[in-house]
Amino acid sequence: MTKNKRILLIISGGIAAYKTLDLIRRMRECGYSVRAILTKAGAEFVTPLSVSSLTEDKVYGELFSLTDESEMGHIQLSRDADLLVVAPASADLIAKMANGLCNDLASTALLATDKPVMIVPAMNVRMWQHPATQANIKTLSARGVIQVGPAEGAMACGEFGMGRMSEPMEILEAVNRHFQIVSISKQHSDINKKALVTSGPTHEPIDPVRYIANRSSGRQGHAIAAALAARGIETTLVSGPTDLPDPKGVNVIRVESAEQMLSACNDQLPIDVAICAAAVADWRVKDAGSQKMKKETGGLPTLELVENPDILHAISSRKKQRPDLVVGFAAETENVVKNATAKRLRKGCDWILANDVSIGTGTFGGEKNAIHFITDDGCEDWPHMTKQAVAERLVDSIVSHFSVPGKDKNSEAAE
């Protein structure tokens, strides 16, 4: 998989640049060919000589170097690679990428490339949380740029929070996963399937200004939809309210409530695979007010709740137009595997991905997930990984499922 794969590593400024030396070494051990661009700020933290010694290649840095332009123009430099990795990706370089600015070799190469790009953000927690940075990240995500990290922890500036650069082994894993996806996509390019993914929370109205909801961010469902589309699978995403950008190449339907989500899912049938990753509210207010409820003296208002439709069970139990493969999620806070195993049987779905959403795990709203993959064959424990990596691993399993002859057991019912 790594044979003859070429990586253009772009090293921008930041104390985390020292990690790229270990990253280069590990990439080379895996068989990758690595060529590096070192920005002026990056050279304040690592030297061209150290980078060149590890890549065993020339290090590029000047946009208007006549020697470099005669040997390899900046456009050819970016297009000669199979993957561009920006590590660390500073707030400045991320902003340039998002806005199409190019005043140095690194930003020019990134604008001129037609190859996949992976960024590994690293910056102060305040810079990472700034609305401008978050808007730039969303812009790049919508363009299909792969993101690894950042992680949470102590920083060189003395602060603690999100913004630490991911460790070299995690970056290497993401690089390997990227090329694995490319390889699988080529092998199974003839798979012509339709997928439906639900994502995010639902908002169940109490009155025009209040609602019942949960802490789901929608990151996992959106990542799954993006991973399916990247494999050439026709994908529809039915999403509850989130701040996430629409995944590239995905038909997105936005809804608010559980009833709206179920209706939207039914409208998409027939499909081949359904992945119910949304955190649907279990209950709704029976009679939501048409006007804002006012505080009344003498006590609190009484809200009568009724059960919401069970979307996973509704799809799994269909006698007609049931998808060939139905995948659910089980968000549990105790006895995770036991409860999820019982849920799979109760709901009638084929696979279920169980995760622990207890306070402190960081699953709801976070960047990572720890999955127990439960099927007829038993339970497979996946390592703690990013939600993007979870999505790619799940899609690997889906592609493999449809690659086995005779798996389209419900094809006649879908006609």
Binding residues are 282, 292, 309-312, 329, 343, 347
> Which residue, among 310, 240, 317, 316, has the nearest Cα to 282 in the 3D structure?
310
The DSSP letter of residue 166 is: P
CA–CA distance, 126 with 159 (Å, rounded to integer): 9
Question: Helical H runs in 189-347?
Answer: 219-230, 258-268, 311-316, 336-347
Ramachandran angles phi, psi of 5, nearest 5°: -90, 130
CA–CA distance, 63 with 65 (Å, rounded to integer): 6
Q: Is residue 30 annotated as part of the catalytic site, yes or no? A: no
Q: Report the DSSP pairing between strands 273-276 and 325-332.
A: parallel
Q: Which position has the token pair 């740029």?
A: 145
The DSSP letter of residue 103 is: S
> Looking at 30, 102, 157, 276, which residue is catalytic?
157
Chain-centroid distance of CA 393 in Å reads 11
What tokens appear for 170 in the block? 């995690």
The DSSP letter of residue 269 is: -
Helices 219-230 and 387-403: angle between axes, nearest 10 degrees: 40
Are the C-beta atoms of residues 347 and 316 closer than 8 Å to each other? yes
Q: Report the DSSP pairing between strands 305-307 and 283-285.
A: antiparallel
367: left (phi > 0), else alpha (psi -120 to 50), else beta? alpha
* Full 3-state SS string of 135-203: HHHHHHHHCCCEECCCEEEECCCCCEEEEECCCHHHHHHHHHHHHHHHHHHHHCCCCCCEEEEEECECC
**Which amino acid is residue 216, in one-letter code?**
S
Binding-site residues for CTP: 282, 292, 309-312, 329, 343, 347
Catalytic machinery residues: 157
